[in-house]
Amino acid sequence: MTRDATGSSSAEAFVLIAIATILITRLYLQLTGYPQVGGGNLHIAHALWGGALMMLALLTGWLLIGAGARVAAVVMGGVGFGLFLDEVGKFVTKDNDYFYGPAAEIMYILVVAILVGARMVRDFRPLTARECLASATAIAADGVARGLADHRREIGLALLVQAEQSGADRAAVGHVRGLIAAAGTSSDRLYRLQRWVPRLIPGFFRSPRWVPVVGWLLVVSAVSGLFFGLLGIALGGYFYQDDDVTVRLDGMNPASVILVVNAAVTSAIAVPAMIARHRTTRLWPLRWLRNAALLFTFLNAFVDFATEGFAALISMSIGLFTLAVLTYQVDVAIRRPVSGDSQRPQVPPGDHALQH
């Protein structure tokens, strides 16, 4: 298995486009009253359009060379997969129930599995000299076909340096470097757009003051979830309702056990991290908080999608905001020299993509 050094970003973009397609499709159908394409006994489900787009994505990847063709394949494949996945409820029920409740959970599990799988393929070991050289050669082929954008040229040259340091054949490296250097220059618009979009985020949300806010909210949520989860299991379930207050605690069931275990693990990670933030300037408390937010958000979402369907998007959005704040601050800390030291902190393999 030879990995593409830039392949994981395409996989992640594919998944994000699929998620956006599902949400836009659901919103459109809700606003338009779920129209049917066709007449009489015919109904052309949008899963068919999704299959057609995925077919076009495969054909584009097979028939065309160049970064533009790759981007087109990712977009068409992501939209097609989103349209297909949106109708998964019809394919797992006897009565073709589009509104089948667990369909949201099935979508969520598939999306997380793809993202985690892509990350595992990328990070399970460092890129070898052969993989770096092969990835740089693929970039060189793009340059021969259509020219190279400046950032793609820089990535290709950096991969060649890494390949050479890892023991790749110097003659082969030299040939590929010559192709990259001789390639024409192509448009960098898409990359500039990617760099410009984050600037739309108000500076207010980039402030480090958000770290203690979201950190302590994470701690409170995890600890309270642990307390009330254990209380509900101990009481065998509890329900109280009056005109103003409704209290419901689940007893022992798979969902409550997952939530309790998740809250316990999150508390064990987040509480020491928040305490350590005031005692050290090292990066590990921020990384621990980010890992805790990642665990808490995605495991809770697993249960919420199973029990609440697409209503779980609200709580998941809050978790993703917390995760975004912490990830941004980790990125800033990685780029900033450590206080009193001219060297940057050691960056583990999983954080290199974050810097790019």
Greatest extent of the chain over all pairs of C-alpha atoms, in Å: 80
The Cα 246–Cα 80 span in angstroms is: 42
| 3-class DSSP state of 185 | strand
Alpha-helix residue ranges (DSSP H) falling in the chain: 7-32, 46-63, 67-86, 88-91, 103-123, 129-146, 150-165, 170-182, 189-196, 210-235, 254-276, 284-308, 312-335, 352-355
Residue 303: the pLDDT is: 79
Residue 45: the pLDDT is: 84
> CA neighbours within 13 Å on the CB side: how many for 229?
19
β-bridge pairing 238-241 and 246-249: antiparallel
Length of the chain: 356
Evaluate whether 55 touches 76 at the Cβ level (below 8 Å).
no
- CA nearest neighbour of 152 among 142, 144, 164: 142
Residue 295: the pLDDT is: 84
> CA neighbours within 13 Å on the CB side: how many for 329?
27
- CA nearest neighbour of 349 among 114, 8, 11: 8
pLDDT tens, residue order, the chain (356 aa): 899 998 888 998 899 899 889 888 888 888 888 877 766 677 788 899 999 999 999 999 999 988 889 999 999 999 999 999 999 888 888 888 888 878 888 888 888 888 888 888 888 888 999 999 999 999 999 999 889 999 899 999 999 999 999 999 999 999 999 999 999 998 888 778 877 776 777 777 778 888 899 999 999 999 998 998 888 888 888 787 777 777 778 878 877 888 888 899 999 999 999 999 888 878 888 889 988 888 888 888 877 777 777 777 777 888 888 888 888 888 778 766 544 443 443 433 334 433 33
The Cα 108–Cα 302 span in angstroms is: 7
Please provide the DSSP assignment of 78-129 as one string: HHHHHHHHHTHHHHSSTT--TT-TTHHHHHHHHHHHHHHHHHHHHHSSPPPH
Evaluate whether 185 touches 147 at the Cβ level (below 8 Å).
yes
| 3-class DSSP state of 238 | strand
Evaluate whether 46 touches 16 at the Cβ level (below 8 Å).
no
For the chain, the domains span 7-123, 129-200, 204-355
Question: How large is the angle between the packed helices 284-308 and 254-276, nearest 10 degrees?
Answer: 160
Cα end-to-end distance, the chain, whole Å? 24
Give 338's DSSP letter: P
Per residue in 31-45, pLDDT tens? 888 877 766 677 788
Q: What is the pTM of this model?
A: 0.73
- CA nearest neighbour of 18 among 86, 73, 90: 86
Residue 336: the pLDDT is: 65
Residue 344: the pLDDT is: 40
